Amino acid sequence: MMGTFDRHVAWEFLRILSVSLGAFIVIFLLVDILDNIDTYIDRRAPLKAVVMYYVYLCPYIIVLTLPVATLLASLLSVGSMARSNELVAMKTSGVSLYRLLAPLWGIGLALSILVGFLGGWIYPETNARMERIKRHEIERRRTRGSEPKRNLVHQDEAGRIYHVNMLRADRGDAEGISIISGSDGTVDWRIDAQRGRYVNGLWNLGSGLLRVFSGHVEHVAPFRFLRSANLSVPPIDLLGKPQEPEEIGVSDLKRLIRRMQRSGLSTAKQEVELNLRFSFPLANFLMVLLGAPLASNPRRSGLALSFGLSIAISFAFFGTVRACQALGHHETLPPAVAAWIPDILFLVAGAWILIKVRK
């Protein structure tokens, strides 16, 4: 009998979840197509390129909208059973509300694990391919480095670390340049320059500081102009592999953080994004934890009310995530705290609602 209850509850939830997620994906795609159709026509983008662009966009849509679809499925499936008195019948047979909702919690946890894998390892690769198709096949940007690139990190063959805040590779112009040289975990010297220009195979740096480290002693020499044979990395090489966190898998992101930390660079943004790879997927479980007990009361299980609750809770969650993410990027909050605060707040809220609801 218990197995039958579990299958029934799970089936109702999965049926509504698949419809909701499918609807969100279709709406998202239609809005994006209508928004960009002029670009596709003006640039005469190949149909195959446009199709593949949206194929690679789908993992992003799934990661973004699945928590909302999970919440809506929880509210509608449990609400439907509450309105038809199925929950009353099940509880009359001796099954507690906690036991009835257990299959939904299990599905929510499984979805969180699935989204964690998708967002941590699959989505970064599909996102990188999507951006390449957009740049080269749809928008037809043929010249690499023709647009400003920001927050670039590169390690040359000698092991020197280059960090550039802004680079125009086609012009050879850069702003906010830091170059670190060292070995065995120690820094031998560091250059920080406000600007630089690549001329005749070498970087000409302006308005900066040269720091030389000898044991525990640091020697600082300001300069207005610096040119050295050691600084010969071409601007196009600094572009390297895309270093945006959204285009980097978990393993590569960890390596990037370690490399930047060894170079003395701020890793707040990267660490926040790394923690979000694990905290954001948990939203699927939290939405079930919140939505299912809320809908177990027949007075709060109407269709319109379910849609309204799903929109309000989703806005509250995503707004909290964005606010904490910004605070983490600006180092107002520690990266781990910024990434996990939304989950903790909604976990507490879900537990409180579950305790208060009639069993």
Claim to verify: residue 162 and residue 135 sit in the same structural domain: no
Claim to verify: residue 199 and residue 347 sit in the same structural domain: no
Question: pTM score, two decimals?
Answer: 0.74
Rg value, the chain, Cα: 26
Tokens in use for 265? 């660079």
Instruction: Report yes or no on 259 lying in a domain.
Output: no
Instruction: Report yes or no on 277 lying in a domain.
Output: yes
Residues 293 and 353 sit within 8 Å (Cβ to Cβ): yes
Strands 149-155 and 202-214: unpaired
Claim to verify: residue 60 and residue 190 sit in the same structural domain: no
Question: Minimal CA–CA distance to 289: which of 146, 97, 88?
Answer: 97
Tokens in use for 89? 């019948």
Claim to verify: residue 136 and residue 6 sit in the same structural domain: yes
Claim to verify: residue 132 and residue 8 sit in the same structural domain: yes
Claim to verify: residue 200 and residue 97 sit in the same structural domain: no
The count of C-alpha atoms lying within 13 angstroms of the C-alpha of 240, restricted to the half-sphere facing its C-beta, is: 19
- Using CA atoms, how far apart are residues 22 and 1, in angstroms rounded to an integer? 32
Claim to verify: residue 58 and residue 200 sit in the same structural domain: no
Claim to verify: residue 176 and residue 325 sit in the same structural domain: no
Claim to verify: residue 338 and residue 290 sit in the same structural domain: yes
Instruction: Report yes or no on 228 lying in a domain.
Output: yes
Instruction: Report yes or no on 246 lying in a domain.
Output: no
Tokens in use for 359? 């069993």
Side chain identity, residue 256: L
Q: Is the dihedral of CA 26, 27, 30, 36 positive or negative?
A: negative
Question: Minimal CA–CA distance to 110: which of 285, 278, 293?
Answer: 285
Instruction: Report yes or no on 241 lying in a domain.
Output: no
Question: Minimal CA–CA distance to 294: which of 48, 55, 101, 51?
Answer: 101
Instruction: Report yes or no on 34 lying in a domain.
Output: yes
Would you call 123 exposed, middle or buried from its count of C-beta atoms within 10 A (0-12, 13-18, 19+)? buried
Residues 212 and 230 sit within 8 Å (Cβ to Cβ): no
Write down which residue in 232, 263, 289 finishes a domain. 232
What value, to the nearest 5°, has the Cα angle with vertex 205 and ends 200 and 207? 155
Claim to verify: residue 130 and residue 9 sit in the same structural domain: yes
Claim to verify: residue 132 and residue 170 sit in the same structural domain: no
Write down which residue in 200, 232, 264 finishes a domain. 232
Q: What is the pLDDT along the chain (359 residues), one digit of tens a residue?
A: 457 778 888 999 999 999 999 999 999 999 999 999 999 999 899 999 999 999 999 999 999 999 999 999 999 998 888 887 777 777 777 777 888 889 999 999 999 999 999 888 888 889 888 988 988 889 877 555 567 888 888 887 677 889 999 998 878 899 999 999 887 778 889 999 999 999 988 999 999 999 999 878 899 999 999 998 778 888 877 876 545 677 678 887 887 788 677 667 788 999 999 999 999 999 999 999 999 888 887 665 567 788 888 899 999 999 999 999 999 999 999 999 999 999 999 999 999 988 887 65
Instruction: Report yes or no on 25 lying in a domain.
Output: yes
Q: Count the domains in the chain.
A: 2
**Domain that includes residue 328, residue range:** 2-140+272-356
pLDDT at 156: 79
- The percent helix, strand, coil of the chain (3-state, each to 5) is 65, 20, 20
Residues 133 and 116 sit within 8 Å (Cβ to Cβ): no
- Using CA atoms, how far apart are residues 302 and 280, in angstroms rounded to an integer? 28
DSSP state of 68: H
Instruction: Report yes or no on 238 lying in a domain.
Output: no
Claim to verify: residue 223 and residue 126 sit in the same structural domain: no
Q: Is the dihedral of CA 190, 192, 193, 197 positive or negative?
A: positive
